[in-house]
Chains A and B, each alone.
Chain A
């Protein structure tokens, strides 16, 4: 901490006389008194409410974090297993196809590819994924899973705590999960959740400190990527971190 000298804040010889005179007037008008008691009381009250809010969020977080994170991981694992099964079916179909000409009845490569696509689509629909994005590359990952369960969408959000010491690792996992082909992260907030002031970036909805909010992954800048955590209705980032660029 730099402790400025009293009443001689700057080398007076470096300033023209007119500016030096103003500098002296300003130094004389410096406020030296303590913070007024009423302001101290107000700050203390605000601080108490912030601490209580954080404690509440911490309590909520400790009771809900693990299951929700586990659900997300399990969902991704299940989707992965599903895709693996689909791939196995396709591979089996391709392998058996040439060996069973009478059953195919003159099939060609196009129909095989069509079968594979159909198999995958059906599997996706069965698993509730509904990932019919049509191949359009979007910066925001698919909200389809949430649409299938509109009653309690926030239950599927990853839960994060802004003061978690392992938040960097959690965000790295979240980033990896949201970029995966089978990503099921929600990006579009509910109507009562205002995230309009959060700026540009890839957004993933999340429970932040016990409230519904979002994680915004900014565009990577060289070797790093800034990530901001928001809660609904507050354009001020709850926490900002810098991750290594993907």
Chain B
């Protein structure tokens, strides 16, 4: 249903075809942009499970509201807007706090792809993975709106003007959200902000001594 490779219709034509009743058009359109939307949802939500929920919410909303698209922006901008809003709505509703519940196996496919190039240098690959984990952890501490702005501008590289359309706010708001978010991340990631080639080694500072998880065994009760 979502094979988009052979359909040469433009995004706008596909969306209009969907509105006009073409049963396959929306699937083709969504598949065309799915990977980028997934990347945005993943980085905005912070974990694959919530990202899948957010992306699905966004897809349903876009499917049903396609008739409301008036063509002022690009279709992909509109799709990003719908998906990001779905993610933010879900985030606000659930008040997800990924920072406290980050699973150990947080490495997603993007991390694995990025580190694959260092297979012959396991130490470098491990450091890359650790640095990415630190960055994502720090990103997860930001308010959702700041995070979404940074994901779209700094990670995905969209122009500020287009991100302003995606987020439904002024360009100045996007810039200030990005600036505030970067300032906070700079404090959290200060030890990573070193010249290339001087990447710190080892684990981040420990939180403290490891606490025993079970109470010391006492004498058996009489």
Interface residues of A (CB under 8 A from B): 1-2, 4-10, 15, 18-19, 21-23, 25-36, 39-40, 42-44, 46-48, 50-51, 54-55, 58, 162-163, 165, 167, 236-242
- 5 interchain pairs (CB within 8 A)? A19-B183, A21-B186, A39-B38, A44-B27, A51-B26
Partner among A19, A58, A163 whose Cβ is within 8 Å of the Cβ of B19: A163
Q: Are the CB atoms of B64 and A236 closer together than 8 Å? A: yes
Interface residues of B in 149-170 (CB under 8 A from A): 150, 153-160, 162
Measured between beta carbons, the chain B residues less than 8 angstroms from A30 are 39, 43, 110, 155-156
Q: A18-B183, A19-B179, A30-B110 are in contact. Are A47 and B63 (CB under 8 A)?
A: yes
Complex contacts, A167 vs chain B, CB 8 Å: 67
Contact B1 A10, beta carbon cutoff 8 Å: no
Assess whether B23 is in contact with A51, with CB atoms less than 8 Å apart. yes
Cβ-defined contact, A25 with B189, below 8 A: yes
- A26 and B110 CA atoms in complex are apart in Å by 13
A29 CA / B67 CA spacing, docked (Å): 36
On whether the beta carbons of A23 and B182 are closer than 8 Å, the reply is yes
Extra inter-chain contacts (11) besides given A4-B158, A18-B186, A239-B68, CB under 8 Å: A6-B157, A18-B183, A26-B139, A26-B155, A28-B131, A34-B38, A46-B56, A46-B59, A47-B63, A50-B60, A163-B20
Question: B206 → chain A, closest Cβ, in Å?
Answer: 22
Scan residues 87-146 of chain B and give those whose CB is less than 8 A from a CB of chain A: 108-110, 112-114, 131-132, 135-136, 139
Which parts of B178-193 form the interface with A (CB within 8 Å)? 179, 182-183, 185-186, 189, 192-193
Contact A26 B76 (CB under 8 A): no
Which residues does chain A contribute within 8 Å of B186, judged by CB atoms?
18-19, 21-22
A9 to B153, CA, bound (A): 7
* Inter-chain contact B182/A22, CB cutoff 8 Å: yes
Q: Which residue of B lies closest to A162 (CB)?
A: B67
Shortest Cβ distance from A50 into B: residue: B63
Find out whether the CB atom of B39 lies under 8 angstroms from the CB atom of A31: yes
